Structure 1
Amino acid sequence: MPRTARRGEGAWGWLFVSPMVLVLGLFLVLPILMALWVSLLHWDGQSNPFSSRAHFVGLDNYRSLLTEDGLDRTLFATSLRNNAYYVLLTVPLQTLLALVLALVVNQRMLRGRSALRTAFFFPSVTSSIAVSTVFLFLFQGSGAVNTLLAWAGVKGPNWYADPRGVLSLLLGALGLVDPDHPVGVLANHSILGLSWYQWLSGPSVAMCTIILLSVWTTSGTFMLIFLAALQDIPRELEESAAIEGAGRFQMLRYVTLPALRPVLFLVLTLGLISTWQVFDQVYVMSRGAPGNTTLTPAYLSYSSAFGDSDFGQGAAIAFVLLALILGLTALQRLALRERTPRTRRNR
């Protein structure tokens, strides 16, 4: 093909995609650049961020979050700790539950598969605000959950008012540590203003309710993704494995899971990104209470900007969170990449 014809095709291609490029630039790239500029300011959101009323402070907002001792760094470290436990529990649980549900509804001899798919997927399409409100009633002190526990002879906690970490409670019950007065290395060393004991105390009882809510509402969506991938596995592979005498566990390990590797990476990546951005459940159910044990970076960014009128601090938190998500996604991609055996060179 002549070079002039290729240039013509390239020009027509750019012409056709130019509307979408303009839309993405106007509503995605430009706001990101403006937010990056705001993160370098001390700005209350009441004036033009490019005027002299917005004070340029450089990297001071980032330094107050990461290096300078004070309330800003303590709150940010607390939000990171809470969100880290939220991610560590939510992502594996929702992925495992979604895979199990997909394997169940993928059975060809199962009756009512369509009804089961609808029932499992229904929580995912329900408003998160409505579901959060329902969970508030279920887990309150005299709610249905504590009533059921009382029937079993167990006294349920005051879920949304209990700031104690579940790991510290477990270790305290075993007599290994004193949850109220930790001593030793865990109490004398700190990271970002929080002691090692605070980092390792686990998610609070209140955060566990939000984790249960998230797992219940997101597993249905990932179930459909796994189900589509399961139905795309060639039946010849399963039949060949069955002829070779492979059992169900061997079929799952050597046939199903390797075929699901790309989809598993997709599900884990989507779960990782969404869990680090959790906001609406925290806003409705706790707003960081009790004792900031349900505070997350996304909600801290919102409260700093719209609650404290410090939009520069809120934008800085958002960009630190963005860098964290990108870094963790890259590490996850590296861990789940397809490894091919190296070929030896003949000397």
Structure 2
Amino acid sequence: MSGRESRQNVAGWLFVAPVVIVLGLFVLAPILMAFWVSLTDWNGQGSPFKGDVPFVGVDNYTRLFTEEGLARQDFMTSVRNNIYFVAIVVPAQTVLALGLALIVNARLLRGRTFFRAAFFFPSVTSSVAVSVVFLFVFANSGTVNGLLNLFGIDGPQWFADSRGVLHLLLGSVGLVDPEAPPDLLTGGGPFGLSWWEWLSGPSVAMMTIIALIVWTTSGTFMIMFLAALQDIPVTLEEAAMLDGAGRRQVFRHVTLPLLKPALFLVLTLGIISTWHVFDQVYVMSQGNPAKTTLTPAFLSYQTAFRSFEYGSGTAISFVLFAIIMVLTLIQRWVMRERNGRRLRHG
């Protein structure tokens, strides 16, 4: 390496040194400290780095998966709730955001600036404020139940109803009795929950939080889709229509493939945000009723800051981080594999 290259390397490190120091002090160091806490039985008193703090190793982690007890039951209940939450919110907000982007991107639409601002406004509103508004909207005598009463429907007590929507749907068609489930499903299931509990679906209370999240996040993802739509050359769509393609064919074979990078970004951000949902649960339900709105993020907070089991609470947060990383890598691999297949077939 020449002296000039060496001086350039030193200059480069000097320029990035402030950022590296800041990230190390405020990001990397806290992560390492939190990981150490997850290996201890620290109760929040004093410093977790003193010698008198009990070191338990991976016990806080194994308790979540292998040891029977309340810790595993609560954690698996929160995972079940979050699985249904992700399975509904991510597709719903993605489809809604894409639909809104297509609407406001239409050249014949008047007042496009107004509609963009109107659709995006919920995304920049305080999540706590919106959650409080939804508490009034879905109250027993709120707007939603008032509208349902106009059609002769007696609305449920939204935030006090712990029944799973899948149980209710199966019961409404007479396949099962929610009050007397089949013995085959009430037996032992994975990780301490019965199959009947795993297959409950999101509770009625969780559906209100799902509606809130979809409404408040679709505007942000609409902006991402809108930016991608405006980057698509109009000549491509016009050429496809001149060749005889209809609007649906143009969208399927021209527009949608070009939106794939934006779609990947929206799905990735959606999965990450839905797996660490906290604000809305904290304000609207506190994990109730019957723990059907409990999520891993809220359980981590509850375990650490209310039960003063900081080691267990931190372990939950690291398991949640691992779940998010694995799901993101799987999604990236799936989309890359599909791209590769299309290129090879092309």
State the TM bucket, normalised to the shorter chain: over 0.9
CA deviations 1:42-64 (Å, max 9, x no partner) are 00112111112311000110111
What secondary structure is seen at the aligned counterpart in 2 of 1:181?
coil
- 1:343 Cα deviation from its structure 2 partner: 6.1
Q: Which amino acid aligns with 2:21?
A: L
Q: How many residues align?
A: 343
Distance 2:190 2:341 in 1: 39
- 1:173 Cα deviation from its structure 2 partner: 1.4
Q: Which amino acid aligns with 2:316?
A: I
Q: Which amino acid aligns with 2:194?
A: S
Quote the residue 1:277 is aligned against: 276
Distance 1:72 1:10 in 2: 51
TM-score normalised according to structure 2 size: 0.97
Gaps of 5+ in 2: none
Q: Which amino acid aligns with 2:153?
A: V
Percent identical among aligned pairs is 61
RMSD of aligned C-alpha atoms?
1.2
Quote the residue 1:184 is aligned against: 183
Quote the residue 1:33 is aligned against: 32
Quote the residue 1:15 is aligned against: 14
What secondary structure is seen at the aligned counterpart in 2 of 1:55?
coil
Distance 2:274 2:212 in 1: 12
Quote the residue 2:156 is aligned against: 157
Give structure 1 regions of 4+ aligned residues with deviation exceeding 6 angstroms.
none
Say yes or no: does 1:262 pair with 2:261. Answer: yes
Distance 1:254 1:308 in 2: 54
CA deviations 1:96-127 (Å, max 9, x no partner) are 00000000000111100000000000000000
Q: Is the 8 A contact 1:47 1:53 kept in 2?
A: no
- 1:242 Cα deviation from its structure 2 partner: 1.6
Distance 2:151 2:335 in 1: 43
Quote the residue 2:298 is aligned against: 299
Aligned pair in 2 of structure 1 residues 220, 342: CA closer, same or farther (>3 Å)?
Answer: closer
Quote the residue 2:64 is aligned against: 65
Distance 1:243 1:308 in 2: 67
Quote the residue 2:334 is aligned against: 335
Q: Which amino acid aligns with 2:42?
A: W
Distance 2:193 2:126 in 1: 35
- 1:70 Cα deviation from its structure 2 partner: 0.2
Distance 1:58 1:47 in 2: 20
Q: Which amino acid aligns with 1:55?
A: P
What secondary structure is seen at the aligned counterpart in 2 of 1:214?
helix
Quote the residue 1:133 is aligned against: 132
* Worse-superposed segment, 7-16 or 212-221: 7-16
Quote the residue 1:312 is aligned against: 311
Distance 1:98 1:304 in 2: 35
Quote the residue 2:192 is aligned against: 193
* Worse-superposed segment, 146-155 or 168-177: 168-177
Q: Is the 8 A contact 1:47 1:54 kept in 2?
A: no
Distance 1:13 1:173 in 2: 67
Distance 1:339 1:120 in 2: 35
- 1:177 Cα deviation from its structure 2 partner: 1.3
- 1:40 Cα deviation from its structure 2 partner: 0.2
Q: Is the 8 A contact 1:79 1:300 kept in 2?
A: yes
- 1:340 Cα deviation from its structure 2 partner: 4.1
Distance 2:32 2:321 in 1: 13
Quote the residue 2:224 is aligned against: 225
Q: Which amino acid aligns with 1:94?
A: Q
Distance 2:197 2:117 in 1: 42
Aligned pair in 2 of structure 1 residues 341, 255: CA closer, same or farther (>3 Å)?
Answer: closer
Gaps of 5+ in 1: none
TM-score normalised according to structure 1 size: 0.97
* Worse-superposed segment, 199-208 or 6-15: 6-15
* Worse-superposed segment, 331-340 or 298-307: 331-340
Distance 1:127 1:110 in 2: 29
CA deviations 1:300-336 (Å, max 9, x no partner) are 0000000000000000000000000000001111122
* Worse-superposed segment, 8-17 or 183-192: 183-192
